[in-house]
Structure 1
Amino acid sequence: MTMFMDVHHGGMPGVTADQLRQGHDAAVAMEQEMGVRIEHTWADPESGTVFCLTEAPSAEAVTRVHERLGGAPDEIHPVPLSV
């Protein structure tokens, strides 16, 4: 599986840590069913931008899990190398 960083631009201005945690937990609850693993989620409350790091078989799988949560990402980038 490949790691993917996805970006949601401006859809969550003012997001709180609790709201971010709820969204992350909802995604984690679908991991097995959707065949992905949600690694981490970050947000910038000022701009409303959200970033998610997900291990998945494809970018399409990343899109599917986010669509189930109510919002497909604006960008998806494979992350083939990390340290």
Structure 2
Amino acid sequence: MALFMDAHTLEGGVTVADVAAAHQADLQTQGKYGVSYLRYWVDEAAGKIFCLVEAPDAETANTVHREAHGLVAEEIFTVVEGT
């Protein structure tokens, strides 16, 4: 499994509560795709959301978002955890 950081931008801002609900939907959907959404970060005013996810590939990670709530990432980066 690879580790990815994805980035979303929602015009007009976003609330932490809305992102928490979307994350819960990801957690309920991820198992059938072999994906594990680990953490997320939110900039409410800028409408930015960042998700850390372990997945077989970037497209499978986005498939979970698409099915769970429809908010797919605009960008997905392969990352390596530092110490």
Q: Same fold (TM over 0.5)?
A: yes
CA RMSD for the aligned pairs? 1.4
- The aligned residue for residue 73 of structure 1 is 73
Corresponding residue for 2:21?
A: 22
**What SS does the aligned partner of 1:77 have?**
strand
Write out per-residue CA displacement over residues 32-76 of structure 1, whole angstroms, 9 at most, x where no aligned residue: 112100000111111101100000010111111111121221100
Q: Which runs of 5+ in 1 are unaligned?
A: none
Structure-2 separation of matches of 1:24 and 1:12: 19
Give the aligned partner of residue 55 of structure 1. Answer: 54
The amino acid that maps onto 1:2 is A
SS of the equivalent of 2:21 reads helix
CA distance in 1, matches of 2:14, 2:45: 8
Aligned residues: 82
**Equivalent in the alignment of 2:40:** 41
Distance between the aligned counterparts of 1:40 and 1:12, measured in 2?
22
How far apart are residue 15 of structure 1 and its match? 2.2
What secondary structure sits across from 2:39 in the alignment? Answer: strand
1:47 and 1:14 mapped to 2: Cα distance?
6
Quote the Cα distance in structure 2 between the aligned partners of 1:23 and 1:39.
13
Q: Distance in 2 between matches of 1:15 and 1:81?
A: 27
Write the distance in 1 (CA, Å) between the matches of 2:11 and 2:31.
26
Amino acid at match of 1:5: M
8 Å CA contact 2:13, 2:48 repeated in 1: no
The answer to whether the Cα contact below 8 Å between 1:13 and 1:49 also exists between their aligned partners in 2 is no
